Amino acid sequence: MNELLEILTDLHPEVDFETEEHLIDSAILDSFDIITIISEIADTFDVVVPAKEIIPENFNSAEALWAMIERLEDGE
């Protein structure tokens, strides 16, 4: 989880990712951020995020992202 927070904070130092729950709904993350996050997740956790997982429910908060990563890790 800390590694994930680091990735996110690098991208948007002004956002408190431990509390923010509307990263997509409030348009804090744009499509280019998402490409970056997905590549970082691949590098750091060795997890490939399929396109169908790129939905607000999985990207609105750091917690949701982490849950998705764990789920994808387990699925392999």
Which residues are at the interface with another protein (CB under 8 A)? 10-11, 24-25, 27, 29-32, 34-36, 38-43, 48, 50-52, 54-56, 59
**CA–CA distance, 30 with 45 (Å, rounded to integer):** 22
Q: Give ∠ CA 28-3-60 in degrees, rounded to 5.
A: 30
Of the pair 3, 30, the CB lying nearest another protein is at 30
H or E segment at 67? helix 62-75
Of the pair 42, 67, the CB lying nearest another protein is at 42
CB of 22 to another protein, least distance (A): 11
Of the pair 54, 63, the CB lying nearest another protein is at 54
Decide: 22 and 62 in contact? Cβ < 8 Å.
Answer: no
